[in-house]
Amino acid sequence: MLAAVANPLNYLAGWSLVLAGFLSGAAIGLGFHRDDFLGGYTSLRRRMVRLGHIAFVALGIINVVFALSPAPADQTTAAIASICFLTGGVAMPIVCFLTAWRERFRHLFFIPVTALVAAVVFTLVGALS
């Protein structure tokens, strides 16, 4: 089955990220009924936890979409895009959760953002070549 997928690692990682998003959402959802949960609705901690949970799901789906996209002729470009999508998909929720724990970790957002921007650029370059 996965032999027909252009990027099987992104496919498996993507669905794994979606599962992680569902599981983390279920876990943090246990406390959302409390007004003071993680400092209240508008607190940085609660916003970062929500963002991390959504990042798992959204970036997981992006990885699945990339995996199912036609493979470009330039395999080097495709490999770089693949690694960047994987890096961003894993790093973004981790940085979100770390920032919720300790605000100083917000300075690490450049890592997943740079990886994801590069992933899109390499995907576009691959599509145009």
> What string of DSSP letters covers 73-127?
S-HHHHHHHHHHHHHHHHHHHHHHHHHHH-GGGGGGTHHHHHHHHHHHHHHHHHH
Max Cα-Cα span within the chain: 53
Confidence class for position 115, pLDDT limits 50, 70, 90: very high
Chain-wide mean pLDDT for the chain?
91
Question: Per-residue pLDDT tens for 26-52?
Answer: 988 887 777 777 767 778 888 899 999
Band the pLDDT of 1: cuts 50, 70, 90.
low
Task: Please answer whether residues 69 and 77 qualify as being in contact, where contact means their C-beta atoms are separated by less than 8 angstroms.
Answer: no
pLDDT of residue 28: 86
Per-residue confidence (pLDDT) for residue 39, from 0 to 100: 67
The whole model's pTM is what? 0.90
